[in-house]
A and B are shown apart, each in its own frame.
Chain A
Amino acid sequence: MSFFLHSNRQAFAGAFSLVMICFTPPLYADKTASWLDAVTVSGYAKLATSSPNRAPTAVELDDLSLFVSGKFNRWLNPFLEAEAYKIPLWEAGKGAQFNSAQLVVERLYNDIHVTENDTLRAGKFLAPINHWNIVHAAPLVWTTNRPVTSSYSRANYITGINARHDFDAVAGHALEVYWQPVEEFNPKAFSEHERHYQAVAGARWIAHEDLDYYLGVAFQHADVAHRNETRNSISMDGNWLHKWFELESELLFTQVDTDQLHYRNHDWGGYAQMAVPLIGHFNLIGRYEHFEFGNKTAATNTALGGIVYRPVPSLSFKLEWQQTQGSIYHNQTGLYSSIAVLF
């Protein structure tokens, strides 16, 4: 909610709106076309139930996201995603609750298509650190819980600029380079185990991305906000969609230079995940993850098994059991389920 109170942010949003208004009218020489034809409104919702061993069973509306995109011309292709998240609905011992919600602007940017193969993006956007971060919408991923490797240790959002060059559109061979010169715009309210970033620079080389598989390598240099801490990460992630199964994996190493309490000078970890189609749109999911934190003595080892019912690609029902050993700050042993829909 603080977004609406911050004068700089109001100025940013005002400027963005002004640009949209100024650029839009000349785009349609065809009198029969409306500028609304160039606008797409979409979104997704995720209702989750969690029953971890060391916390009460709870039901929450984890995500209610709305995104609006406009495709007006080469210069003006704005995108806005606003999200209400972690809205508690019911908790064991407390009953029904409708008393809190978090609201955040997840993405707010404009794309300029400099050439057919070069795109310049400015604003707040998802950091291209891996495929999971780029398509993290609940209906599009296999599990209710996200692997630690895919999100921890690096900036997930960038407020700045991103340049992308596509070497081969069909094979998906591309390179992205991004830079965040200032602190993140309208950041999420994080827990004590997460962090905000002051300045970030990074790149992702996508070796291949099509309907069958993708492979990417990412690098990120990040200064942590309000701490004397610098992080340099390198990671590789890939996915292979075979007729009979889907394999996905990511490996990450982050060198951490900090004056905070730490037990090692790095985070590192990785996961391997497999999805096997069963009968009637049911899928069997398995995942194993190992992650070592620079600031925690114990590593975390998590095994996950679950069932996903996905009658159409945009709707999924998930039920999973997660067994965690070691550090439990990000993954707790327990039963989790969710319903997610993309609309």
Chain B
Amino acid sequence: MKRWVVLGLVAALMPVSIVWADLYIIANKDLPAAQLDKDDIAAIYLLKKKHWENGEDIMPINLPAQADARNRFTAEIFDSTPEKLGSYWDQMLFKGETPPVTQNSEQAVILFVERVKGAIGYVETKPQSQQIKILQQFSSK
């Protein structure tokens, strides 16, 4: 009986955590940037940082609101929710700034980044393409 009580207490006190996969911030291999920190990534997705060091336009790529990777990305970079970020982008659209382009799948994000030099995206599956470079990796939690 005592054992069950202890086990029950341990189970009750264990934190409920969401298991997340790795998150990769990716860009085209021809971009001069080798790595980006969280603030740079945040500035890009807040539509405040608009150009790469070589002057090329930055084109941030997004996933649908329901995608797990988008939840993970928003939590990791902004400590926030996709809804808040979506509202922010709506406000920026009204201010004349174009929100990130949404692609329907991680594969589509990878294809987009392969083809468009200034594009940046995020995926949970490590890309194998030679055309892609990983600018940042956030380990699973």
Contacts and interface: CB of A to CB of B under 8 A. Distances in A.
Contacts of A10: none
Contact of A113 (B50, B80, B91): B50
Given A71-B57, A140-B90, A211-B78, A135 B95 contact: yes
Contacts of B95: 134-135
Interface string B89-128: 0110111111000000000000000000000000000000
A169 B78 contact: no
Given A71-B57, A116-B51, A166-B48, A313 B83 contact: yes
A342 B39 contact: no
Interface residues of B, number: 26
Contacts of A170: 39, 42-43, 46, 48
Contacts of A314: 90
A194 interface: no
Contacts of A77: 96
A169 B49 CA distance: 7
Contacts of A342: 90, 93-94
Contact of B98 (A69, A135, A212): A69
A74 B54 CA distance: 13
A137 B55 CA distance: 32
Nearest to B48: A169
Contact of B91 (A116, A140, A166, A312): A140
Contacts of A113: 50-51
Interface in A91-118: 107, 111, 113, 116
Contact of A169 (B43, B86, B98): B43
Interface in A163-218: 166, 169-170, 172, 210-212
Interface residues of A, number: 30
A40 B93 CA distance: 9
Nearest to B83: A313
Interface string A31-49: 0000000001010100000
B69 to A, nearest CB: 18
Given A71-B98, A116-B51, A169 B46 contact: yes
B88 to A, nearest CB: 6
B48 A135 contact: no
A135 B94 contact: yes
A3 interface: no
Contacts of B50: 113, 116
B90 A67 contact: no
Contacts of B78: 211
Interface in B10-46: 39, 42-43, 46
Which of B46, B50, B90, B94 has its CB near the most chain A CB atoms (within 10 A)?
A: B94
Given A170-B39, A342-B90, A211 B80 contact: yes
Interface string B51-62: 100010100000
Contact of A212 (B43, B51, B80): B80
A76 B85 CA distance: 27
A241 interface: yes
Contacts of A44: 94
Contacts of B51: 74, 113, 116
A166 B50 CA distance: 13
Given A42-B93, A77-B96, A313-B87, 6 more contacts: A69-B98, A113-B50, A166-B48, A170-B42, A172-B46, A210-B46
16 contacts: A69-B96, A69-B97, A69-B98, A74-B51, A77-B96, A79-B96, A113-B50, A113-B51, A116-B49, A116-B50, A137-B94, A140-B90, A211-B88, A313-B86, A342-B90, A342-B93
List 5 tightest A-B contacts by C-beta distance, closest first.
A169-B48, A169-B43, A313-B87, A79-B96, A135-B91
